[in-house]
Every structure is written in structure tokens, then in C-alpha cells.
A and B are shown apart, each in its own frame.
Chain A
Amino acid sequence: MAFFELIPEDQMATEAKEYIGIAKKRARSDRVAHTYYVLARNPRLVKAWVQVLQELIPIPNRFGAAQGVAGMLIAHAKGCQTCFNTSRQLLLKLGFDLGALDNMCRFPEALPLGDRDRRFVEFTLRVARDPQGLKTDDFRDMERAGFTKDEILEMIGVAAYWNLATTLAMAVDAGLREE
């Protein structure tokens, strides 16, 4: 038996249901990650998570589908199956095929994206994995590639969001595993 249980929607507090509804709309799906249904026990946590998602990764946003690629690769690097699946499902709906996504995961250093999108994904992945290792030159390189300072700050926001989401999802997933 798993430690955590999924709260059915008809037993959730209105607030949790409302914010899960927003997450569903974003995912273009009638179901979202299990993590939301577990955390529905604490509506404040679901509300905060969705609000943070809305602010840091708004839809639409200036980085377009590259956002989804960044999410998939960060989840892949961190070993978060839930965030990985969620990002992949969204990318499939946006027209990517499975083979192309698998190749991106295998060769993240050779992404078949336009230069701007590729730089966005590489930088965001780097910030999410090793923020401590960043140097001033990394920011200068991004600026030389045409990104504004505000865009770079937004990329930091994207990377930060995925650290929150992968930590939440991996911890909750561990509590959902059958013993």
C-alpha cells in the first residue's frame, strides 16, 4: 500500500479543485500529474504551486515551445519521471514527435532548434542544474547572443520553477510507490 493517497476531485476543497482546473487548462488535458491530487489535502500548497507556475511560466510566453523542451530536459537530468512525462505530453500536443524528443534527451548538446531557442534551453538547463557554477561571462555570452537582461532573469525564473516542481513531484512520487 502506498503512503500517500490521491484525493478524488469530488472530495477536494473548492480552492484545490479550482487551481487543479487551471493546471488542467494549461496542460490541455482533463487530468494532471498525481502530485496535484496528493497535495489537494493541503489546498494552500496547490494554490501556491499553480500561482508560481502561472507567474514564472505564463502561457503564452516569449520562449514558446522551447519552454517545454527546457522542462523535459531539466526533468530528465534530475530524474523526475512525473515532470518528464508532463513536459513530453505537452510537446507531443505541440507537434513534436517521440523520436525527436528522445534524441533531444540523448544529445542535449545538439538540440535541433533555432539558435535562440537552443541557447535558451541550454542556459536554463545549466541554471537549473548548477546555479552555483555560473560566472559573469555566462551572462555576457547570453547578452551577446541577443538576450536582454530581463529575458535572462526570466530564464532564471524558469529554472527555479523546475527545481521547485521536480522536488515536489519526486518526493510525492516516492510516497505514492507501493511498498
Chain B
Amino acid sequence: MRNFQLVFKQSFRERVTSKSYLMTTLALIMISIFAISLPSILENFSSPKEEVVVISNATDIEVSEVEQILTSWQWKEADPNQLSFFKQVAQEGKILGLYVIDENESNYSVNYYSKSNDVNLNSELSMYLQSKNVQKIALNNNLSTADQQSLFVPVVLEKGEFTAKNEVSVFVTYMMLMFILMAIMMYGTTIATGVASEKASRVMEVMVTKVNPLSMIFGKIFGIALASLVQFTAFFGSVALYLKSGIVEPAKSLGNFELNLSALTVEHCVYFFIFFLLGYLLYASLYAVFGSMVSRPEELNGTTMPISILLMASAFSGILFVIDDPTLKLSKFLATFPFTSPFNMIILVMKDAASLLEISISIGLLVITTFVFGYFAAKVYPKGILHFGENLKLRQLIMRKS
């Protein structure tokens, strides 16, 4: 136990004092803060509104009202006798356009002079005038105010939900899944590289005589796990502090993705932490074994490819199937099967589509599998680390006598 603690402390210290760790932590924090602040920053830097001049010959069209409804442009009213002047200004491109609104028997008509011919402006102005016309007809036909308002109530078009309403936004779930994937890959590779480097520098020859393989492998895995949790806390803590500081208004969405974090509960965070940690421990054991199979860290890419494929397949099965419909049998299976469950059960949890029993079974199976693979890793690890020369294959490693 003492040697486990020593290896644990050493692995943790080695990891957190490495330049790559500090740079990654800093980069993660900076990128996240930048992403959150981006919409506010863009707003500050966005170009000023373009000017549109209106000559209204229609009695019921007020430019001040147009300004209130069509807010993307800056509106200016002009007299009919200024027509030629503003035509000239529009031709020179100094304003976006000159719009002359007339009124005839059935509807409004617009003559416009613009060099850039803004389709959006034309479409929105046309829609606005159309609605004004409907409003006018309704008024002339003595419709009540309520009926007039009813004419403009839009059709409700809403996507039906398969699960309960208490779900975290898809984007946040997606980000969590990606975080688990990236973290397992990053820290798993760190473990494999650490083992391979110790083999390559032959310090392993000294270590195996001083520490038993069980303490060595798990000291390393848990040491790096703690380093990852520190990074994790530093990352989320900094982002939370930044949001709380109110320096910028956090974005409500990124593109078409909703970024609302309000549905995220402590329970969600605890499950996220459990599945991340268990997933990491399971895959870390495999990374340690695969790291022990090579003689040099440069050879790791090819050797750890099967783990990378398994990880990617597990994460993308969630993106392809489970996020879309967590109620499918396939989704339930993927959320229970130990290698895919860290990625998929978290989706079900975030979408509030898993019962406590299902979550418990998934965690239970993951814990058992982690123990079995941890035991297996501790058994084959010493055979790998004492082998030098040609890379071992997994089958050779398992069959090899100690």
C-alpha cells in the first residue's frame, strides 16, 4: 500500500508539473471562455446598421412604427420633394436604399432605388406592409380587436418529445460526451506513453524490483486520474467563476444549438463524474497493458489503435443513435454494455430517459468489468514490461508465461 501511494504521488506530481498538462489546462480554459464570450464580442464588433430612407405617400404608414418592427436597419423619413436628392444619394451607395411607399385600392406599392438590393430588407418590408393591409381590411370590415389580433397569431409548430421534459440541451449533452471521449483518450494515452517511456528508458527494470506490478499499474492509473480531476476542476471552476463574474453575458446558444445550462442539476453532474471516472479506469487499464506491449513510445499509435477505434465507436454510437431516440432498445443496450455505457448512459441521464434501476445496473456492470480488466491488466502487465525487442501482440502477451 505504501508503494502504491508513492507511485500514485509520483505519477500525479510528474503529470501536473509537465508543461503539456499546464498548457492543455490553460488552453481548455481560454478556449471555453472565448467560446462563451464570442457572441458578446461579435455584437460589440458588428458593423453599424445601414440607413434606409422612406418617403411614405400612404396615410397609415408611419416610419417610426417601421423602425420599431424592422430593427435591423436604421430608418429615416423624407419628404416627397426630396425624391431626386435621395435617389442620387442611393445611386452613390451612401444609403442602402430609398423606398417610396404608395397606397392604391387593394394594397400598398413600393418603388425602391438601391444599388445593393437587400433581399432581406425587401422581404421583411413586404411582409410588414402585407400585414398592415390585412389589418386595414379587417378594420374596414368592423372586426373586433381580438379577431384582428387572431389574424396574426402564427401557427404553432413544435417538435414532440419522446421523453420527459426535464432534459439538458442536446448541445450540452454532446459536449459532455465529447469531454469524456477526449479526456479518456488524452489521459489513457498519457498512461500508455508513461509505461512505454519507462520501458524505453529501462527505468522499468529498476522499478519492477522495487514495486509490485499491481501497485505500479494502479498507482500510475490513479495518479493520472487525480491529475485529470484537478484539470477537470480547474477547467469547470474557472468557467463557472468567469460566468459568475458577469464580465460578459454568456451566450444562450452557439449557432443553432441551445446552450442553456439551467436544466443541469447536481444529480446530472454526479452521474457525469461517475461515468467519466469509471470509463477512464476501464480504458486506462487497457491503455496500460497496450503500453507495456511496445518497446518505444513512438510505436504506440499503431498498437493503441484498437482502443481508439473502440472509444470512437462507443462515443459515436451515442451521437448517431442514442441522442436521437434514447428509448430505442439499441440505446438501452449501448447504455448498459460496459465499454459503451460511459458515453451512452450519460446521454440517457441527461435526457432523463433512464430509471434509477437502469443506471444502477449500468454502473454495476461497469464496476465489475473495470475490476475484471484491472485484474487482467495487473496479470499481463509484468510480462509486457519485462519484454524488450519486437513488439508483443495481445495474444502473445496473454499466452506468455511469467
A and B form one complex? no
Binding site for A on B (CB under 8 A): none
